[in-house]
Amino acid sequence: MQEIFEFNVTEEIPAKFICDGMVNPFVELFYKNDTDIKQKMCSYYTTESSKDEQSMRANHLLGDIIFNHPAMEMLNYHTRLGGKSYQYLFSKEKHIEWGSASFPEWATGSSHGEDLQFMFDMHTVMPSLNETKFTPEEKDLSDKIIQYWTSFAKTGEPYGGGGAIQWKPFDLTSRYYLDLDTPLELRSNLSPKMVEFWSKEIPPIGLEHVEKVKRHDEL
């Protein structure tokens, strides 16, 4: 893709790739190549403010399609049906460098899977992570995350131990979520612009939108 669209991901992800290489194939597959949806998504996920911000928009697009918007919809449905859900955002930035791979300088915030090192205290079982060992504040965050998760598994209520913030269940008014960072903080209404965009501007994906994909049975 970098060769086709002539860019280097370590430097930037250009708007042209977001529109032509990400948005267009997505809309073609799920929305029958609807030009209005293409235009809306391309406009929402591109910016002229800076190359770094433009590059992060590519991350946001991928995350919103795969994780963020579906999770929000599931929270809404589950809550409307009387279920109790607990939403969280892991925002503590602590990159794990795997082998020779490294993050571009424009990539900010936590990335997918980085919560696992806190959830399972991976530094105690993986010596290769010693260079990024926890600070006292990070160790405290890890202890609280482990306590929240084990408490929820046992009782259905996430309790973080003495002195920890009470994790309130998600509701359709306050839309509570726990921000897993140092320090921990209970917040409301996660990503309101993204939620409004996907709920009001982009129709839900249903079978009627999906083009039949040609099947290849040959090896």
Assess whether pLDDT exceeds 60 at residue 42.
yes
Report pLDDT for 162. 82
| Domain residue ranges of the chain, discontinuous segments joined by + | 1-83, 84-99+109-190
Q: Please state, in angstroms and as integers, the Cα–Cα distance from residue 37 to each residue in 168, 180, 183, following that order.
A: 36, 34, 39
Average pLDDT in the 92-103 region?
67
Please report, rounded to a whole number, the percentage of residues in the chain having pLDDT higher than 70: 86
pLDDT tens digit sequence for 75-94: 999 999 999 999 999 999 87
Report pLDDT for 132. 65
Window from 5-14, 132-141, 200-209 with minimum mean pLDDT: 200-209
Q: What angle do CA 162, 167, 173 make, to 5 degrees?
A: 155
Q: Please state, in angstroms and as integers, the Cα–Cα distance from residue 177 to each residue in 63, 137, 155, 166, 200, following that order.
A: 18, 21, 19, 11, 22
* Contact predicate 176/186, CB 8 Å: yes
Report pLDDT for 126. 66
Report pLDDT for 145. 94
Assess whether pLDDT exceeds 70 at residue 208.
no
Assess whether pLDDT exceeds 70 at residue 203.
yes
Could you tell me if residue 206 is left (phi over 0), alpha (psi between -120 and 50 degrees) or otherwise beta? beta
Assess whether pLDDT exceeds 70 at residue 219.
no
Confidence of residue 105 (pLDDT cuts 50, 70, 90): confident
Confidence of residue 113 (pLDDT cuts 50, 70, 90): confident
| Residue 130: DSSP 8-state | G
The overall average pLDDT reported for the chain is 87
pLDDT tens digit sequence for 23-35: 999 999 999 999 9
